[in-house]
Amino acid sequence: MFGGAKSSIKPVSQHTRTERIAAPKAPAPLPSRLAATAKAARAFGKTHDPKRSSPANAQRHTHSPATPDRLDVPSTKRKASRQRSPGEAKPNFGDDSDDDDEGYADDLASRSSVGSNKRQRTEPPTPTIDTKRKLRSKRGFSRDDGLFPMIHAADVASPVRKSKVPDLQAHKVTVELKYPSASQRERYDLVYGKDKIDSLREIYDIARIVAEVYLTEDQQKPFTDENSGFIRKIQRAMNLLSRNRQDQDLIDGFKSAVNAYNEALEALIKDGVLAKNLDNKHHLPLDMVHIILRQVYDRAVSPEVDLLKAYENGTDNVYGELLDSFISKILKETKMKSDQVFVDLGSGVGNVALQAALEIGCESWGCEMMKNAYTLADRQKEEFQARCRLWGVRPGRVRLEKGDFLENNPIKETIKRADVILINNQAFTTELNEKLKLLFLDVKDGCQIISLRPFITPGHQITEWNLYDPINNFRDEEDSYYGRSVSWTDAGGKYYRTTKDEKRLQSFIKKLAPKE
């Protein structure tokens, strides 16, 4: 029985019935569980193949998004060989298709979210809308802003592939995409960028999300019409070009479809339509959050992802990422708001801190002591700011600190006013977890601490003998995360929400006081 409870339902007396049925066909063989068991059994510190899993598969007390159960890659016959960002944690591929659409969905209306074609994704329900949050970036919609540094998708093209197709000139295979702001366009390499960033797919996803988020239902029609819409034209051109990336006529056809989309979007921007629509919104859909985080990671981290393999096994400095679907679940359950403070202790390359700032709009802090990780975190933060500007959205303020969070003064001061603190202490030593208990004594009442290992021993009770144990000021709840929530295993697991609650100890002390 569920939970071990005894059932109150009385058993029904058995009746025997005999009937003839056709012999069933032999069932299809069950998929082997050996691979899944092996993945789930991998201990912290063991290296994973970065081509088969999240880029940072060796584990650590740091974590991700952004990010993202993320975007699915459509079913095609080509092999995806680039490093996967947190936005693409081990996507499932559908069956190969020989039709004209190469496995992409024909019906735009049926694709209500990025990556919805084959794979089931656990996505937390839309949180209560925070009406205090302002989404539009005034800077992003200012035409006086000029150009700013960013990593174009074309800059991440594979030099190996370039050497194989010397006859195609760079300007002939590059297209520029307009984003829903007054900012500059992004350059995409339609041939060489496939190994690092799937330019065709990303352009299509961006166009679809822009229509869904920035336009009203009537404004969407020229973009989403199933026969003549700008996005449908991009999709058709993408499907054709996917078969032969070196055909100049197909390249020109795709560029023509994108340019038509750009012109239509540019006209709406000049009329102030997008800025006005964004002013009426207070919440970003998770699909948009995830694709922005994936863009940032693919450009700033993926090219240097091998740096994250430099860790010391058996210490507190072990690398692992919490994926952005899991972070979205945490942000929803803790009821984070834009006027609150989020802190990530052991923030790695900064994924989680960036996600909280983008998804919630809150003040977001991180602290990381591993040099290679915080070097990439700085790159991510710069690219994150550029991406938000491109999309015309305003995230919360982000600050990423370097060093030991037990000794970093800005972090210790911020912890005192934090509303949510996240710490992946899965691989921490007992000694470090004990030190964290003392650190958390400074948090304010009601602060929620999310961890992968509990700080309160199961069954702990306040007694006269342990009256001065710091943990008596807290209460905790156990919860479960689903598969594909962390980078080091496909299996699910447990996590804990520990809340500062001084009333527990005060109530116990009051009971001890002698009655008058």
State the Cα–Cα distance between residues 192 and 35, nearest whole angstrom.
Answer: 33
Closest CA to 486 of 178, 9, 69, 28: 69
State the Cα–Cα distance between residues 449 and 471, nearest whole angstrom.
Answer: 12
Closest CA to 91 of 112, 65, 62, 71: 71
Q: What is the pLDDT of residue 145?
A: 63
Q: Is the pLDDT of residue 191 over 90?
A: no
Q: What is the pLDDT of residue 516?
A: 60
Identify the weakest region by mean pLDDT among 6-20, 164-178, 347-361, 371-385: 6-20
- Across 421-436, average pLDDT: 89
Residue with more model confidence, 505 or 145:
505
Q: What is the pLDDT of residue 72?
A: 36
Q: Is the pLDDT of residue 144 over 80?
A: no
125: tokens are 């329900």
SS3 of residue 363 by DSSP = strand
Q: What is the pLDDT of residue 120?
A: 39
Instruction: Kindly report, residue by residue over 435-446, the tens digit of the pLDDT.
Output: 998 899 899 999
Cα–Cα distance list, 294 to 64, 85, 168, 381 (Å): 11, 6, 28, 13
Residue spans of alpha helices (H) in 216-320: 217-224, 230-243, 248-270, 273-279, 286-300
Identify the weakest region by mean pLDDT among 261-270, 308-317, 428-437: 308-317
First to last CA, the chain: 50
Q: Is the pLDDT of residue 113 over 50?
A: no
**What count of other Cβ atoms lies within 10 Å of the Cβ of residue 116?**
16
State the Cα–Cα distance between residues 369 and 221, nearest whole angstrom.
Answer: 50
Q: Is the pLDDT of residue 279 over 90?
A: yes
Identify the weakest region by mean pLDDT among 134-148, 208-222, 245-259: 134-148
* 58, 319 Cβ separation under 8 angstroms: yes
State the Cα–Cα distance between residues 137 and 275, nearest whole angstrom.
Answer: 9
Give the sign of the dihedral formed by CA 37, CA 43, CA 48, CA 54. positive
State the Cα–Cα distance between residues 130 and 282, nearest whole angstrom.
Answer: 6
State the Cα–Cα distance between residues 509 and 472, nearest whole angstrom.
Answer: 11
Specify the residue for token string 């980078």: 487
Q: How confident is the model at residue 158 (pLDDT cuts 50, 70, 90)?
A: low
Report the length, in residues, of the chain: 516
State the Cα–Cα distance between residues 168 and 448, nearest whole angstrom.
Answer: 55
Residue with more model confidence, 195 or 333:
333
Annotated binding residues: 319-322, 342-351, 368, 404-405
Q: Is the pLDDT of residue 96 over 60?
A: no
* Mean model confidence pLDDT for the chain: 77
State the Cα–Cα distance between residues 376 and 373, nearest whole angstrom.
Answer: 5
- Across 300-322, average pLDDT: 70
Residue with more model confidence, 117 or 180:
180
Instruction: Kindly report, residue by residue over 446-479, the tens digit of the pLDDT.
Output: 999 999 999 988 888 878 787 878 888 898 899 9
Q: Is the pLDDT of residue 228 over 50?
A: yes
Q: How confident is the model at residue 385 (pLDDT cuts 50, 70, 90)?
A: very high
- Please work out, in degrees rounded to the nearest 5, the angle formed at the alpha carbon of residue 126 by the alpha carbons of 122 and 129: 160
Closest CA to 203 of 248, 128, 152: 152
Residue 281: DSSP 8-state = -
Q: Is the pLDDT of residue 172 over 90?
A: no
Annotated binding residues for S-adenosyl-L-methionine: 319-322, 342-351, 368, 404-405
314: tokens are 């058996």
- Across 360-378, average pLDDT: 95
Residue 402 phi, psi dihedral angles, 5° rounding: -115, 145
State the Cα–Cα distance between residues 55 and 511, nearest whole angstrom.
Answer: 53
Superfamily designation of domain 315-512: Vaccinia Virus protein VP39 (3.40.50.150)
State the Cα–Cα distance between residues 104 and 198, nearest whole angstrom.
Answer: 14
Domain spans, the chain: 136-279, 315-512
Specify the residue for token string 């080091």: 488
* 125, 248 Cβ separation under 8 angstroms: no
Burial class (CB in 10 A: 0-12, 13-18, 19+), 515: exposed
SS3 of residue 199 by DSSP = helix
How are beta strands 174-177 and 186-189 bridged, if at all? antiparallel
154: tokens are 């074309």
Q: What is the pLDDT of residue 128?
A: 72
Closest CA to 294 of 65, 58, 55: 65
Q: Is the pLDDT of residue 178 over 90?
A: yes
Q: Is the pLDDT of residue 288 over 90?
A: yes
Interior/surface letters 42-80, b for 16+ CB within 10 angstroms, e for the rest:
bebbeebebeebbbbbbbbbbbbbbbbbbbbbbbbeeee
Closest CA to 261 of 288, 216, 224, 287: 224
Q: Is the pLDDT of residue 310 over 90?
A: no
Residue with more model confidence, 8 or 440:
440
Per DSSP, the residues of 13-71 read PP-------PPPPPPPPPPPSHHHHHHHTPPTTPPP-TTTS-S--S-BS---------P
402: tokens are 């370097």
Q: Which of 40-44, 74-78, 79-83, 185-189 has the highest mean pLDDT?
A: 185-189
- Across 217-241, average pLDDT: 96
Q: How confident is the model at residue 412 (pLDDT cuts 50, 70, 90)?
A: very high
Q: Is the pLDDT of residue 267 over 70?
A: yes
Q: What is the pLDDT of residue 168?
A: 55
Q: What is the pLDDT of residue 55?
A: 36
Q: What is the pLDDT of residue 125?
A: 52
State the Cα–Cα distance between residues 290 and 116, nearest whole angstrom.
Answer: 13
Percent of the chain at pLDDT exceeding 70: 69
Q: What is the pLDDT of residue 319?
A: 63
Identify the weakest region by mean pLDDT among 155-159, 248-252, 305-309: 155-159
Q: What is the pLDDT of residue 515?
A: 67
Q: What is the pLDDT of residue 351?
A: 95
